[in-house]
Chains A and B, each alone.
Chain A
Amino acid sequence: MAEQGGKMPSIRIDFTQSGGFAGLVKSCTLDNTTLDQADWADIERLIDSSGLTESLAGMSATGRDRRCYTLSISRGDGVVVVECDDDSIPAAARPLVAFLTARARPVPPPATRLSP
């Protein structure tokens, strides 16, 4: 919900989608400088309803060609990092992921190392 006078609380989301049959890598960063008032209201609502209150990580053991997602959500009260795929993503978070996917653009694969 917007604060009085239209000032938006600090928020930043770093999102990367990869994998799927096509193996596409797409990314977006949304923050106070890129979000307009309407988008900000949407993103606040989607984050709140996503249930993503703590960091989590998990990929499907049996699924193949599922899309992978990495989200880092920074708000005033902390950072939540989520690594999941189409199988393991909490159902409540799927609209948030769809919102971010629609805004993500193709990027070269990020160099962040694969953990052991």
Chain B
Amino acid sequence: MPGCSNACHRLPIQCIVPPYMLDRLSRSPNAKVRDRAIAGISKSAAVRAVRAFARDMPGMMAVPSPAATKNRLVYDAKGKDTLPGKLVRSEGQKKLTDAAVNEAYDFAGDTYDFYRELFDRNSLDNSGMTLISSVHVGEPNASGTFQPMDNAFWDGAQMAYGDGDGQVFERFTRSLDVVAHELTHGVQSFTSNLIYRGQSGALNEHFSDVFGILVRQWKLGEKAEQASWLIGAEVLVPAKTRRAIRDMENPGTAYADDPDLGTDPQPSHMKSLYAGAADNGGVHLNSGIPNRVFALVARELGGFAWEIAGRIWYDAMLQLSSRSQFADMAAITLQIAADEKRFGKESKKIVAAAWKKVGL
């Protein structure tokens, strides 16, 4: 990756041996084992330092763009899991015949334009950070050969998209809201940096869904009352038992009795808040609650959701702290919405009513 050290790659993290094992091995009577363990201790200490560094100072992980403006790089992982892969399209270059490459490029551009035009934000870090995407990312199966990845993720420095298995998931670049969701994880790492666990993690997921759907509505010119509020509809292979990955307006209804997906587990009210350990404490589950609040607010306000609701939520994303909980989010959106000069007389009342509807 140009201008980027190995620290940007996922590989060092997955290869470390737990420190207590290395410690034990470093006292082995076998000199060869001992030497390798000591070398491993140095390496894993360095990896942990990089991880802490990436978490606390994401700006140092950002690859700047040459002119501090929109700069997209799309890589082809060629079905493997080593990121970023081979560079196949840079800013300003023509379309390729590869749909995934063009979608990653175009949708990253739409997301950049959305943040730039509406919030005067220059890329994820507001300093022109290069938008790096890898497509055709794979993962090993049980026999160790690679298969298309059933996922899309943000690794702290770039986006990665799999092509799906073709049975349940299609390629993850097909949905503009999925691409904008991943990029918004990047924006968050430079703003509130909400800890990815429990309620703060669910807020992290919530902001990614909110700005994911807003980029889509903005691109399509959709008003809140016309929009479907579905996340990732194009990523799923169509079936009667599934409409999308999430439904922001009606959490818990995106799929039902699906043989591969089960039934959408998202709660829509605080009384059903998930308190278990799965999914980092339910970050993709409990995000249904604030998602519903946003859809309620946007629909009640009417018109284009990015004009008032989106601005309230953008300000909240900048003002929250990394440990904020749902109650903090409710309080801060109420406080922001109370600015009548910016948001009119009704906004605060509408925001308050929406939070009350979900039990906050």
Could you tell me which A residues sit within 8 Å of B by CB distance? 16, 18-26, 42, 46, 51, 53-54, 56, 58-68, 70, 86-91, 94-96, 98-99, 102, 105-115
Contact = CB atoms under 8 A, between A and B. Distances in A.
B155 A87 contact: yes
11 contacts: A25-B265, A59-B196, A62-B55, A62-B157, A63-B154, A64-B154, A68-B279, A86-B14, A90-B15, A105-B262, A108-B263
B285 interface: yes
A112 B245 contact: no
A100 to B, nearest CB: 9
A19 B277 contact: no
Q: What is the interface residue range for chain B against chain A?
A: 35 or more
B136 interface: no
Given A20-B151, A62-B51, A95-B140, A113 B283 contact: no
A23 B196 CA distance: 13
B162 to A, nearest CB: 9
Given A22-B245, A61-B55, A90-B15, A113 B154 contact: no
B276 A109 contact: yes
A44 B358 CA distance: 48
Given A19-B279, A68-B280, A102-B141, A87 B10 contact: yes
B51 A86 contact: no
Nearest to B51: A61
A54 B24 CA distance: 12
Interface string B198-209: 100000110010
B284 A113 contact: no
Contacts of A46: 142
Interface string B266-289: 100000001111111111110000
Contacts of A59: 196-197, 280
Given A65-B182, A109-B282, A21 B261 contact: no
B153 A21 contact: yes
A68 B278 contact: yes
A54 B155 contact: no
A25 B18 CA distance: 26
Given A42-B142, A65-B153, A95-B142, A87 B185 contact: no
B18 A98 contact: no
Contact of B54 (A24, A61, A109): A61
Interface in B122-171: 139-144, 150-157, 169
A76 to B, nearest CB: 21
Contacts of B258: 106
Contacts of B181: 21
Given A91-B15, A94-B139, A94-B140, A18 B278 contact: yes
Interface in B210-269: 232, 245-246, 258-263, 265-266
A25 B278 contact: yes
A32 to B, nearest CB: 20
A21 B152 contact: yes
B13 A87 contact: yes
B153 A22 contact: no
Given A64-B204, A87-B14, A107 B172 contact: no
A64 B14 contact: no
A90 B88 CA distance: 30
B58 interface: yes
Given A112-B277, A113-B275, A88 B20 contact: no
Contacts of A107: 262
A64 B153 contact: yes
B62 to A, nearest CB: 12
A60 B245 contact: no
Nearest to B189: A62
Contacts of A51: 17
